[in-house]
Amino acid sequence: MLNVGRASGAMFRIHFCAITASLTAFAQVGAIPRFEEYPVTKVFQGTPAPPILVTPEERLYRTRIRNGVRDGEGVWRENGVEGIPRPNFAGHYIVVTWECGSPCNEMAIVDAVTGKVYKPPMSETHLLPLLDGAPCFPGVEFHLDSKLMIMTPTPNMARVPIYIHYFLWENNKWTLIRRIPCGPKGTPTACEK
């Protein structure tokens, strides 16, 4: 079962295992991105479109993706509640998660309007990526009314320096807008914001 942490205001975390990816962006200066700085103007209220499964990987996980869109299975709300079949990210996207073994989880992002399926940030597959090459169980935070997604590694799992990653979902693609070092390895609260 997916490990969902405590809801904190309008934020929540879903802990994942990461598998593969690389990152070439570097930390930037400036203020820490906040959800309210990347608002959406509309929230989809209708019945979600059935997912359009195009790739072999999407077809492999068709039951998980379809059940997420249709029944809300693996669709987590900001208050930590699962099972509501409607958007939970950026106004009209449904973030669906499922287990792929221990300790590993996967994610697909489905457009509730069109049914198109997208991958998570920094990933060539629906597996969440390694953040900076470390097995890190990233906490993923997102809101229904924002285009921002934050991935925060669990410090005690990392074997290398780790970072909090801030991604913007815009025009159906991910953009890394900020990467912030978490602090010295082994510091229990190094990655807390």
Place of tokens 């669906």: 96
Q: Return the structure tokens found at 33.
A: 């991105």
Whether the per-residue pLDDT at 155 is higher than 70: the answer is no
pLDDT score of 5:
35
Q: Could you give the CA distance from residue 93 to residue 114 in angstroms, rounded to a whole number?
A: 10
Q: Which pLDDT value is given to residue 106?
A: 80
Q: Report helix, strand or coil for 119.
A: coil
DSSP alpha helix (H) spans, the chain: 56-60, 62-71
Instruction: Band the pLDDT of 114: cuts 50, 70, 90.
Output: very high
pLDDT at 127: 58
Domain boundaries of the chain, sorted by first residue: 14-181
Which pLDDT score, from 0 to 100, does residue 136 have? 46
Among 1-5, 49-53, 163-167, name the most confident range: 49-53
User: Which pair of structure tokens corresponds to residue 16?
Assistant: 């994942």
Distance CA 136, CA 187 (A): 14
Burial class (CB in 10 A: 0-12, 13-18, 19+), 177: middle
Over residues 83-113, the pLDDT tens digits come to 889 999 999 999 998 876 655 668 899 999 9
Q: What is the pLDDT of residues 70-89, one digit of tens each?
A: 999 999 887 778 888 999 99
163-183: average pLDDT: 89
Mean pLDDT of the chain: 75
Q: Quick one: CA torsion of 66, 103, 33, 42, rounded to 10 degrees?
A: 10
Name 178's Cβ contacts closer than 8 Å, sequence gap at least 6: 27, 28, 30, 32, 33, 164, 165, 166
pTM of the predicted protein model: 0.75
More confident residue, 82 or 29: 82
Q: Tell whether the model's pLDDT for residue 186 goes beyond 80.
A: no
Cross-strand partners of 89: 93
